[in-house]
Amino acid sequence: MKNFYSLYIKPAVKILGSIKFAFILIISLIILSIIGSIISDASIDKIKYNFIVSLFFDTSSNEFRDFVSTLGLLNIYTSPLFITLLSLFTINLLICTFKLFPFAKKGFPFIDESALKNEAAFKDDISAVTDFFYKEGWHVSRSPENNNLVKAEHHKPGRYGVIITHFGIIFIMIGAFIGHYMGFSGSMLVFENQILNEVEKQNGEKIQLNFAVKLNDFNIEFYEGSKTAKAFTSNISLVENDNEVKNVDINVNHPLKYKDVVFYQASYGQSPHNDMVMNVLISKDNKSETVGLKYGKAYDFNDYKIVVRDFYSDIAYNSQTGEYYNKSYNLSNPALYLAVYDKEGRGLMGGWLLLYSKEPTYVEPLNMAFQFKELKDVVYSGFSVKYNPGISIVYFGGILLCFGVVFIYLLNYTAIIFTVSNGILKYKVFTHRKFPLVNPADKFYKYFNIS
């Protein structure tokens, strides 16, 4: 067993914990990150037409996409190669961190007097130097082998700075791994009055929650005279065992967290199959009335019948055909086609009314005006749903990382080993950082006029 450790375990640990190996891993991760930022689902079809790529791959097929996907470069940040490199980097940090514990415990070791290369003329004895360090709050100790060899240490807690920093990164990595393998990220599209407990991931996989979401109401505000959404809010209820346990509003800047599952307001849209209500302001003879119209159902107004014959969620105009068409099912530019009939059912007028119109549409032959004011009971609310059980570990790692950096830069561990012999002060300064923000040794140089 001892031979196995010496032959295999010890060399493997030495390689995995080496600075050279860490450098190789960091460079590899940087290169893969650059590739990941260039190659994506959105850009792959453009890249295949690149001149160099076209020399090796058929641009009329998905040959290049298949090749990149096989190498795991299409989703590089979740690829086995990227995860493996991050795992190795975490192991490297762990080994390096444990190697630092003996130093953190003992600090810079005593060295032989002959290794003290810095010298300065000195009239007093060694007690004058030790008294100075005591007054300045340094920790002073003598060599167990040479009582005339003294070590003064400043900011001893700073010895743990690198260890704390390493552990911060390690905890961030561990939290990220837990979140990746045990958490999920997906979306939910919930229609008004619908109860849903299913989250769909990007790969189509369905995740069942142990509670359900009911969309009670969805409100959207637009900038006046514009089709740009100003704000949209979902009022939802959380349902467990057929009982409502929570009612809350969610908007873009106010997500909901429940049982470590976070819901973000992400989108909204319209279903052509919902029983929508379109509020239309109708004016005639200085009298106005807002009526709720439903698709295909006639509404009696004075001596007229008013019917919504069509509805487009995102109306657009084709200048070549001269016709209006529905560009998408998103509520980007809603419009309804309103038709007016007399009592005998003869058509009197028909035309499109835009939801964003600032002014009513006036129909002179009928002496009537119409304005599309509000759209109700038609939309769904889209939520981005995330569950990350490792996020608290990531936050803890982030706190450790911040403390570690503070320890390294503001508590710069410094040790001065010195002796006095024959009117000569011999010393050597050891410090964690070559260019610290504050050099504790400066007072030592100034007090004893050392240039």
Closest to 154 measured CA to CA, from 403, 437, 444, 449: 444
Please tell me the predicted confidence (pLDDT) of residue 273: 44
> For 1, what's the count of Cα atoms within 13 Å in the CB-facing half-sphere?
0
Please tell me the predicted confidence (pLDDT) of residue 169: 93
In this prediction, the residues of the chain whose per-residue pLDDT falls under 50 are: 273
Q: Measure the CA angle with vertex 266, ends 222 and 173; round to 5°.
A: 145
Which ranges of 44-160 does DSSP label H, i.e. alpha helix? Answer: 44-47, 51-54, 63-70, 80-106, 126-135
Tokens of 4: 């196995």
Please tell me the predicted confidence (pLDDT) of residue 137: 92
Please tell me the predicted confidence (pLDDT) of residue 437: 67
Please tell me the predicted confidence (pLDDT) of residue 199: 92
Q: Taking a C-beta distance cutoff of 8 angstroms, is the pair 391, 306 a contact?
A: no
Please tell me the predicted confidence (pLDDT) of residue 293: 86
338-360 pLDDT, tens digit each: 999 988 888 988 999 888 788 88
Please tell me the predicted confidence (pLDDT) of residue 73: 74
Instruction: Share the mean pLDDT of the chain.
Output: 86
Q: In angstroms, how far is CA 362 from the centroid of its own chain?
A: 50
Long-range contacts of 78-82 (CB under 8 A, 24+ apart): 78/180, 81/32, 82/29, 82/32, 82/36
Instruction: Report d(CA 306, CA 369) in Å as an integer.
Output: 13
Q: What is the DSSP string of 151-212?
A: EEEE-GGGGGHHHHHHHHHHHHHHHHHHHHHH-EEEEEEEEBT-EEEEEEETTS-EEEEEEE
Tokens of 404: 């570690």
Closest to 200 measured CA to CA, from 380, 385, 42, 330: 385
Residue 152, exposed/middle/buried by CB under 10 A (0-12, 13-18, 19+)?
Answer: buried
Long-range contacts of 139-145 (CB under 8 A, 24+ apart): 143/110, 145/110
Please tell me the predicted confidence (pLDDT) of residue 400: 95
